[in-house]
Amino acid sequence: MVVLAAVADWPRWQHRQALAAETRDLSVPTVTVVSPAPGKAATGLPLPAEIKPWIEAPIYARASGYLKRWLVDLGARVEPGQLLAEIETPELNQQLEKSRHDLAYAEAALALAKITAARYADLVKSASVSEQENAEKQADLALKTASVAAARAEVRRLEELQSFNRVTAPFAGTITLRNVDVGDLIAATGGKELFRLAQTDKLRVFVRVPQSLSPSIVPGQTAELLIAERPDRVFTAQVVRTAGAISADSRTLLTELEVDNTRGEILAGSFAQVRLTGAPLAKILTVPGNALLFRAEGPQVGVVQPDGKVALRSVKLGRDFGATVEILSGVTGADRVILNPSDSLANGATVRVAEPAKSK
């Protein structure tokens, strides 16, 4: 009878065991997890930029006078040493002529002083003249020698100044400004610039990068240069240097890029936009925005540990991309972060990770 009763109760016992197991399963919440992804590269948002020549210099006169002629005009391509203009310098010419006459006079006086000094040196030996007279003649010779040296230096100085009546290009480039005409009065000091010369076969691009993006800016990084007047073209620029400090006024990092302009397609002085590109930020991770918990302790995420227990991690947030958020610290790429965590999620809670849906 006992055996028959046990056999008859067996199905009910199995049902109770299954029901208990199901109850236990239902008491353990099922969660969906995701692994943090590498951070996005600093790209996407175009930043305003300014394009400047690789080298730019105003050309001033170093000799005073009147402009005799100019040989290059706006937009002209010039080579180093090429003649740009000539200045008529009548006053300087007169000064140079006078200095040459002064030199000739000083040389004649020196020749006479040499003869006189030599004669007195012989006469003093026979006591025909006194030592005092001989010393005076020798001193006069030294004085005349110094006068000749000074006169020669003055001639060289004025000849050098006269050579400045030829205005030449210091480097190869394009004339971007001609500011004089024939007959204009030219002043060597305090005068206006005659020309402006710019080297534009290579250009500098200056952009102010927001502080939040500054850690991702490194020399050698590439960027896209966008110009409104050339919507059909995307130019490639390269980061060459940064200011190395955040500006206190704008909280931005001044960054310099260079772009090749051998074909002359880009005009210096243009306004442009720069879109920085580069490798993803390996040290910065992103998680979906719906993985965050906001509590009194600050932003947190729930991480499922290997034993199925929950660990709440405090995280430091970076940029908010809408669907995803940067995590600067608090998680690793190997963590399993819980999506849509409940407000009641607690440290040490046991959870079950949902199986990924199978594709049909």
User: Given the structure tokens 């948002």, which residue do they identify?
Assistant: 45
For residue 94, the cross-strand partners are: none
Residues 127, 28: contact at Cβ < 8 Å?
A: no
| pLDDT, position 4 | 47
| pLDDT, position 42 | 52
Give the tokens for residue 28.
Answer: 């353990």
Q: What kind and span of H or E run contains 69?
A: strand 65-70
Give the tokens for residue 141.
Answer: 């010779």
Residues 144, 136: contact at Cβ < 8 Å?
A: no
| pLDDT, position 175 | 96
| pLDDT, position 17 | 62
DSSP codes, 2-15: HHHHHHHHHHHHHH
Instruction: Using alpha carbons, list the distances in angstroms from residue 107 to 114, 119, 143, 304.
Output: 10, 19, 12, 102
Helix axis angle for 131-163 and 90-123, nearest 10°, is 160
Walking along the chain (360 residues) 10 residues at a time, the average pLDDT comes out as: 51 61 63 84 75 96 92 94 94 91 94 90 83 88 93 93 92 94 89 94 94 83 91 92 92 94 93 78 78 90 90 87 85 90 87 64
CA dihedral 335, 338, 339, 343 (to 10 degrees): -140
What domains are defined for the chain?
A: 47-54+199-279 (2.40.30.170), 56-168 (1.10.287.470), 282-353 (2.40.420.20)
| pLDDT, position 338 | 92
For residue 301, the cross-strand partners are: 292, 313
